[in-house]
């Protein structure tokens, strides 16, 4: 008989590490992070640290741990070929047979591993093992890791562009695309490295008390005036309680929620206090409709991430999302997602010292590929309408194939918004497709991702006219030579 156990709390894993002789605070924190609540992984992390691997090199510790995990998996499936494919699958999060590019036999081998399960868009590695394998692969082969991730992102965009799909499949492709952006804020907020056990669905008629309890915790966590918040929530509950989406644990207990109201005449009274002067433009214009997000709360980071991803999935299905939030963390997340900012409202409705800010985004099917491309500015794979890139996570040598800027067919204002949200991140800005625009200072054919070599670029000038009685400048047969040196390989 098999008994399923949930992840151990961080305090228990920390105690396990200290009992194993790991006492350095940085090392203990690393054990907790890599273990993801699994005692076996905590033990493997402690053993790797005892071998002398420094705790400030998590990739090296993870690499040692994955070696032992692979040996254990070898008892389930003999052979070696699937081992590298498992690293690739962990890097792309979810992969179908074409994305993994190993054929049906390799796909079935991976599907038979105890750490792999079948999802709507293909196979996926269970957390926290997925994150562990990804961390190790990024450390062992950093350039190959980036190539795999970016090609997979291009493949997801191609599916959004070229294959007709329903709202549910589009929502899944968007979720995978957000993961493949590699953006640190999106990864930590939306994709924490831990197993998920909650189920999310509409609130039922008899769950008003649960909604009130969770909204009270939401107000306390946000530093909001509780009584003011309760009055706002009462307006939301006057409509359909199904507008609240609840996360339930294994026992069915509500542990998180989202107040996600449909935009319409019957909900305007509950939405207007949080939009105020922006109400007419967002609720009454030709682009109105969709959903309004008033609150999101999760009892822990894993549940919270599930709720946020569910909100985005519902927004893809509805086509449009309006958000009003006084949380600086949510505002940073919305800017990273390139939502359109409309500014703050007039009043501090929550009496927290911060006026809510209003954001919106169009999730229409036609705009999703461009939005995904703007969030992944170093995107590889194929641009819309371009040739396919079979084997997006293929087995070929790393570094082969040109990395093409994802500018054609994309929403340039969205690219600009993405760049403005990252003005303090020089490495991210260096990958922006905007650098491939005319006048950006790069030579023809040079896109983001060039190497560190220098290339001379010779541009002939028109030969000056020789005048009688005056000598001209020295020239070559093609005229004077101007040499410009550009940083980057550009080969």
Residue-wise DSSP of 29-43: HHHHHHHTT-HHHHH
Q: Classify residue 422: in a domain, yes or no.
A: no
On whether both 186 and 244 belong to a single domain, the answer is no
On whether both 361 and 214 belong to a single domain, the answer is yes
Q: Can you give the CATH number for the domain in which 258 is found?
A: 3.40.630.30
Asked if pLDDT for residue 143 goes beyond 90, the answer is: yes
Q: Classify residue 396: in a domain, yes or no.
A: no
Please state the pTM of the whole predicted model. 0.77
What gap in Å lies between CA 74 and CA 80, rounded to an integer?
A: 8
**424-455: pLDDT as tens digits:** 566 567 666 666 554 444 443 443 334 333 23
On whether both 151 and 258 belong to a single domain, the answer is no
Q: Which of 368, 391, 421 is the last residue of a domain?
A: 368
On whether both 161 and 230 belong to a single domain, the answer is no
Question: How far is CA 253 from each of CA 20, 143, 191, 344, rounded to the nearest angstrom?
Answer: 35, 44, 22, 35
Q: Which of 368, 383, 416 is the last residue of a domain?
A: 368
Q: Which distant-in-sequence residues (6+ apart) come within 8 Å of 73 by Cβ?
A: 86, 113, 114, 115
What gap in Å lies between CA 186 and CA 337, rounded to an integer?
A: 8
On whether both 207 and 103 belong to a single domain, the answer is no
On whether both 224 and 90 belong to a single domain, the answer is no
In the chain, how many domains are there?
2
Q: Classify residue 395: in a domain, yes or no.
A: no
Q: 376 and 153 in contact (C-beta within 8 Å)?
A: yes
Preceding peptide of 122 cis, ω within 30°: no
Q: Classify residue 473: in a domain, yes or no.
A: no
Give the pair of three-digit tokens for residue 272: 């207007």
Q: Classify residue 417: in a domain, yes or no.
A: no
Q: Which of 333, 368, 403 is the last residue of a domain?
A: 368
Own/partner contacts of 160-165, CB < 8 Å, gap of 24 or more, are 160/365, 160/368, 160/369, 160/372, 161/369, 161/384, 161/385, 162/384
Q: 255 and 248 in contact (C-beta within 8 Å)?
A: yes
Q: With pLDDT > 70 as the criterion, what percentage of the chain qualifies? A: 74
Q: Which distant-in-sequence residues (6+ apart) come within 8 Å of 21 by Cβ?
A: 46, 50
On whether both 44 and 185 belong to a single domain, the answer is yes
What gap in Å lies between CA 324 and CA 294, rounded to an integer?
A: 6
What gap in Å lies between CA 41 and CA 62, rounded to an integer?
A: 10
Strand order in the sheet with 357-362: 199-202, 244-248, 254-262, 291-298, 320-325, 357-362, 340-344
On whether both 157 and 220 belong to a single domain, the answer is no
On whether both 176 and 206 belong to a single domain, the answer is no
On whether both 134 and 248 belong to a single domain, the answer is no
Strands (E), 317-365: 320-325, 340-344, 357-362
Residue range(s) defining the domain that contains residue 204: 199-368
**315-373: pLDDT as tens digits:** 999 999 999 999 999 999 999 999 999 999 999 999 999 999 999 999 999 999 999 99
Q: Classify residue 48: in a domain, yes or no.
A: yes
Beta partners for 482? 459
Report which of 237, 235, 217 is spatially closest to residue 226, judged by C-alpha positions.
217
Asked if pLDDT for residue 379 goes beyond 60, the answer is: no
- Residue 410 is predicted with a pLDDT of 46
Q: Classify residue 320: in a domain, yes or no.
A: yes
On whether both 75 and 141 belong to a single domain, the answer is yes
Report which of 89, 113, 114 is spatially closest to residue 101, judged by C-alpha positions.
89
């Amino acid at each position: 008989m098999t008994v399923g156990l949930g992840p151990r709390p961080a305090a228990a894993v920390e105690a396990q590490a200290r009992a194993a002789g790991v006492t350095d605070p940085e090392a203990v924190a690393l054990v907790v992070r890599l273990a993801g609540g699994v005692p076996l992984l905590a033990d493997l992390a402690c053993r790797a640290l005892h071998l002398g691997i420094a705790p400030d090199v998590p990739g090296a510790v993870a690499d040692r741990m994955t070696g032992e995990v692979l040996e254990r998996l070898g008892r389930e499936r003999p052979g070696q070929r699937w081992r590298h494919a498992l690293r690739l699958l962990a890097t792309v999060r979810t992969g179908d047979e074409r994305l993994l590019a190993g054929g049906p036999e390799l796909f079935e081998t991976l599907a038979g591993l105890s750490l792999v399960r079948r999802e709507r868009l293909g196979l996926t590695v269970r957390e926290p093992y997925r994150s562990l394998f990804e961390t190790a692969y990024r450390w062992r082969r950093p350039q190959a890791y980036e190539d795999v991730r970016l090609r997979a992102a291009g493949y997801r965009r191609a599916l959004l562009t070229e294959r007709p799909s329903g709202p549910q499949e589009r929502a899944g492709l968007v979720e995978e695309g957000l993961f493949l952006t590699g953006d640190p804020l999106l990864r930590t907020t939306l994709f924490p490295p831990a197993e998920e056990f909650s189920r999310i669905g509409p609130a039922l008629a008899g769950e008003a008390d649960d909604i009130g309890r969770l909204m009270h915790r939401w107000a306390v966590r946000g530093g909001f005036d509780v009584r003011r918040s309760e009055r706002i929530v009462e307006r939301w509950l006057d409509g359909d309680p199904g507008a609240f989406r609840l996360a339930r644990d294994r026992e069915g207990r509500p542990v998180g929620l989202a107040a996600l109201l449909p935009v319409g005449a019957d909900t305007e009274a509950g939405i207007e206090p949080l939009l105020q002067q922006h109400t007419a433009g967002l609720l009454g214009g030709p682009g109105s409709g969709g959903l309004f997000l008033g609150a999101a709360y999760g009892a822990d980071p894993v549940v919270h991430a599930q709720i946020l991803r569910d909100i985005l999935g519902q927004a893809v299905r509805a086509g449009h999302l309006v958000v009003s939030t006084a949380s600086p963390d949510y505002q940073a997340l919305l800017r990273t997602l390139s939502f359109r900012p409309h500014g703050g409202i007039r009043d501090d409705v929550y009496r927290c010292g911060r006026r809510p800010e209003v954001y919106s985004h169009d999730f229409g099917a036609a705009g999703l590929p461009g939005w995904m491309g703007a969030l992944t500015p170093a995107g590889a794979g194929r641009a819309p309408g371009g040739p396919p890139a079979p084997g997006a996570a293929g087995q070929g040598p790393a570094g082969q194939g040109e990395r093409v800027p994802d500018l054609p067919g994309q929403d340039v204002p969205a690219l600009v918004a993405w760049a403005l949200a990252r003005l303090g991140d020089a490495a991210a800005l260096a990958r922006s497709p905007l650098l491939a625009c005319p006048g950006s200072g790069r030579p023809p054919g040079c896109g983001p991702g060039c190497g560190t070599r220098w290339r001379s670029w010779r541009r002939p000038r028109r030969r000056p006219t020789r005048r009688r009685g005056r000598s001209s400048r020295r020239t070559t047969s093609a005229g004077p030579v101007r040499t410009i040196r550009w940083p980057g390989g550009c080969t």
